[in-house]
Amino acid sequence: MKNMKKPLSVGMCALAGILSVLLLTLLDQYTKFLASLSLSGKPSIVLIPGVLELKYLENTGMAFGLLSGKKVFFLVMCILFFLLGIYLFFRIPKERYYLPLLLILFLMQSGAVGNFIDRAWRGYVIDFIYFSLIDFPIFNLADIYVVSGSILLILFVCLIYQEDDFSFLNPRNKG
């Protein structure tokens, strides 16, 4: 446990975060670019018959088409989410014990940035991964980042961290 409280360099954490978000966002944008070139206006590409397809969709809403056309709402929410992430980065203690939280934060921020870029630049998000087996809404890598990060966050909060481990969230605690 003593080793888990070993301090990490704030500068190195920030650099790792910036590089992680940049790399994951570039990967997301590259796959969307490829999807646009290869799939737009064309039939879907079946990868596993009856299970998985690549299928182009310009999504102005979120999953299941909810809040379709609410571009300003989504842009504001992405900005607020990103600002919350920056706030949390500075609040989370830079110790090995909290490294999983930092990595989850970077993963989720990458997803928010990737879809923000689409909404701000194109006015819609490019989705292209479709699980036809369960007729799941079409999604993209940025969505995978956010959902995976959310699942990991829930698992770590429920199984690893204790309530006391989140005292850094108390504004009175300068942590």
How many CB atoms within 10 Å of residue 24?
Answer: 21
Report the alpha-carbon distance of residue 119 to residue 59 in Å, rounded.
9
Catalytic residue from among 118, 143, 164, 165: 143
Query: Is there a catalytic annotation at residue 164?
Result: no
- Quote the longest CA-to-CA distance of the chain: 57
* Chain centroid, CA 103 distance in Å: 11
The H or E element that residue 19 is part of is helix 10-39
Catalytic residue from among 28, 127, 135, 164: 127
The conformational region for residue 40 under phi > 0 = left, psi -120 to 50 = alpha, else beta, is beta
Catalytic residues: 127, 143
